[in-house]
């Protein structure tokens, strides 16, 4: 047994993210019993049959004697889950989450948990697959991936350290930043591109000559719109959850686009090229750095 | 010798596009002598050394006795090239081009060639590689790719048929549409995505916390911004050349984005999901259709 050990781990939402974490903690030998909580009995039964969880239980039962409770359900459910958990949350239990947005999750946690929010350590593992559900869960999903921790002032240092150690046991590299910073970063590099990609596909698909346009769409369109095939429900929730940071990024983007439009209106090739060249250099440098760091596709 | 034969083919601009066409026509046995015209002596010498062209000559010399002249230089040079060609253009010569935009090319051709514009058959092969220059030229570049022809009212049917047959000999599937339709299609599915991708990278790279943001940018950002690594000079020219159609697409995009922004401002998850779901379905259907048709990556 490792020095790090959680005797009773509760995974709330046993899909790709929660299931992969359960498998990773089992593989690392840091989890005793793993209890799954979820809305779908069929899905919990599959998780148990696959050996992802040891048993299934309702949240209030699962919470009894839990060392660690990890929320892996969609972020929109955070308040309801923590509100239901609060009366059953014991003093020795650490609660954490895996949500893609943090300010709203923290707001929900403070409202739902009151003073017990000190036991809640917000986190966001940056990992995913194109597949969903517990069948897609992999013990290695978090290996070499980043996890962001956004500790609260109220958190005990030991609890933050335990959550960090848990993610490290799952193979992730942990980074600490404020929730505001986290939400601004992901609004810019993830949430905004999703909105922009959905918007382009909606525009082309709604055009009178949609069939002709799609017939001539090539590799550039394919890459630009790949993320527009993502789950509409998940991205709806993320957009609403990270509303403020995303609105700021959209407003900035509207200014950048208006600037480029004005350059095109003025047939100002030089002005356009300045922006394009800077972007092109930044993209090439990012790709090269990323490829060098991780030996992945630029 | 094939029934189709161009005894003297002039390629103006012997880079990836022009060089690949020269190689494809030679391989198909439909080209006699291939003459290269270009601004860089070194590049023409390389083209000759690689066997892409048989000889190099200035435009006015190359035009003498030419059966076919193909403009493969950047679209911004169309007027200057045709203006220089006009006094030397013989009645039996067909002129065509490979430009990514068509309305502006036709305008330039009408102004530069006057009555001789009847000899000019506008075309756009939809093919490319991430590499540029004659060294990247491939005889098979156009195989299975689409070429759009935008014939003029002034063109003789036989000349249009000859240009079509030339592209078919190079392996391309030919499609005929009006220049206005062509420019609208490519503004929507190619030029607009490039502008949007450049804009996002410019925004992230110009942010105060650019380094942090780029550090957490993942696979979605990578795919969305791949086209922002494209040549700034080429895309500057295309944006200016296809100004009117592109401005219409940008204006539509601004409306779509403003609509999504308003839905986010109102925390209207249902309204957002409607747009996202329609886009997601359209993108999945497009990917599946494309994969089925060409056995390529969705």
Can you tell me the mean pLDDT for B273-283? Answer: 97
Which one of B243, B269, B280 has the shortest CB-CB distance to A264? B243
Does B283 map to a domain? no
Q: What is the pLDDT of residues B40-68, one digit of tens each?
A: 999 999 999 999 999 999 999 999 999 99
Pick from A177, A207, A242: which residue ends a domain?
A: A177
pLDDT of amino acid B1 = 43
- Using a CB-CB distance cutoff of 8 angstroms, which residues of chain A are in contact with residue B236? 269-270, 272-273, 276
pLDDT of amino acid A194 = 97
Does A59 map to a domain? yes
Which one of B202, B246, B277 has the shortest CB-CB distance to A256? B202
Which one of A197, A236, A282 has the shortest CB-CB distance to B269? A236
CATH number, residue B157: 3.40.50.720
Does B33 map to a domain? yes
pLDDT of amino acid B296 = 61
A169, A229: one domain: no
Does A280 map to a domain? no
pLDDT of amino acid A131 = 74
CA–CA distance, B292 with B298 (Å, rounded to integer): 9
A171, A238: one domain: no
Q: What tokens does B114 get? A: 């006057």
Which one of B184, B196, B258 has the shortest CB-CB distance to A200? B196
Residue B297 has pLDDT above 70, yes or no: no
Q: What tokens does A274 get? A: 């300045």
B135, B43: one domain: yes
CA geometry: angle at B268 spanning B267 and B273, to 5°?
125
A35, A115: one domain: yes
A52, A87: one domain: yes
pLDDT of amino acid A32 = 96
Task: State how far residue B219 is from chain A, nearest Cα, in angstroms.
Answer: 9
Does B217 map to a domain? yes
Does A213 map to a domain? yes
Task: State how far residue A225 is from chain B, nearest Cα, in angstroms.
Answer: 7
- Using a CB-CB distance cutoff of 8 angstroms, which residues of chain A are in contact with residue B227? 220, 223-224
pLDDT per residue, tens digit, chain A (298 aa), is: 457 999 999 999 999 999 999 999 999 999 999 999 999 999 999 999 999 999 999 999 999 999 999 999 999 999 999 999 999 999 999 999 999 999 999 999 999 999 999 999 999 999 877 778 999 999 999 999 999 999 999 999 999 999 999 999 999 999 999 999 999 999 999 999 999 999 999 999 999 999 999 999 988 999 999 999 988 998 999 999 999 999 999 999 999 999 999 999 999 999 999 999 999 999 999 999 988 887 666 6
Residue B225: give the domain boundaries. Answer: 181-267
A33, A131: one domain: yes
pLDDT of amino acid A128 = 78
B56, B128: one domain: yes
Pick from A122, A153, A177: which residue ends a domain?
A: A177
Q: What is the per-residue DSSP string for B52-63?
A: S-SEE--HHHHT
CA–CA distance, A57 with A10 (Å, rounded to integer): 9
The DSSP H or E segment spanning A64 is none
Domains: count for chain A: 2
A129, A79: one domain: yes
Does B114 map to a domain? yes
CA–CA distance, A29 with A20 (Å, rounded to integer): 14
Does A209 map to a domain? yes
B105, B223: one domain: no
A106, A220: one domain: no
B151, B236: one domain: no
Q: How many CB atoms lie within 10 A of CB B58?
A: 12
Dihedral sign from CA coordinates of A271, A274, A275, A276 = positive
Q: How many residue pairs bridge chain A and chain B with CB atoms within 8 Å of each other? A: 280
Q: Do A226 and B223 touch (CB under 8 A)?
A: yes
Q: What is the pLDDT of residues B105-114, one digit of tens each?
A: 999 999 999 9
pLDDT of amino acid B2 = 53
Q: Do A189 and B204 touch (CB under 8 A)?
A: yes
pLDDT of amino acid A132 = 81
Can you tell me the mean pLDDT for B271-278? Answer: 97
- Using a CB-CB distance cutoff of 8 angstroms, which residues of chain A are in contact with residue B104? none
pLDDT of amino acid A1 = 43
Residue B261 has pLDDT above 90, yes or no: yes
Pick from B144, B162, B177: which residue ends a domain?
A: B177
B31-37/B6-12 β-pairing: parallel
Q: Do A189 and B286 touch (CB under 8 A)?
A: no
CATH number, residue A241: 1.10.3660.10
């Amino acid at each position: 047994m490792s020095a790090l050990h959680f005797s009773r781990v509760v995974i709330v939402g046993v899909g790709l993210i929660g299931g992969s974490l359960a498998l990773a903690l089992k593989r690392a030998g840091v989890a005793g019993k793993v209890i799954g909580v979820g809305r779908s009995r069929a899905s919990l039964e599959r998780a148990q049959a696959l050996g992802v969880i040891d048993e299934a239980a309702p949240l209030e039962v699962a919470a009894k004697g839990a060392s660690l409770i990890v929320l892996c359900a969609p972020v929109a459910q955070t308040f309801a889950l923590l509100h239901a958990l609060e009366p059953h949350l014991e003093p020795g239990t650490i609660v954490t989450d895996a949500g893609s947005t943090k300010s709203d999750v923290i707001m929900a946690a403070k409202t739902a948990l009151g003073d017990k929010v000190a036991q809640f350590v917000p986190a966001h593992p940056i990992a995913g697959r194109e597949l969903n559900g517990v069948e897609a869960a992999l013990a290695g999903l978090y290996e070499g991936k980043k996890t962001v921790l956004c500790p609260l002032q109220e958190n005990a240092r030991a609890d933050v350290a335990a959550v960090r150690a848990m993610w490290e046991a799952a193979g992730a590299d942990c980074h600490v930043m404020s929730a505001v910073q986290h939400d601004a970063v992901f609004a810019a590099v993830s949430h905004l591109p999703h909105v922009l990609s959905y918007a382009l596909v909606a525009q082309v698909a709604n055009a009178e000559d949609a069939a002709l346009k799609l017939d001539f769409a090539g590799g550039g369109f394919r890459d630009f719109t790949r993320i527009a095939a993502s789950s509409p429900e998940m991205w709806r929730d993320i957009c609403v959850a990270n509303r403020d940071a995303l609105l700021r990024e959209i407003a900035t983007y509207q200014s950048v686009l208006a600037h480029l439009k004005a350059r095109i209106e003025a047939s100002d090739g030089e002005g356009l090229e300045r922006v394009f060249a800077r972007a092109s250099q930044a993209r090439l440098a990012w790709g090269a750095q990323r490829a060098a760091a991780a030996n992945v596709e630029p």
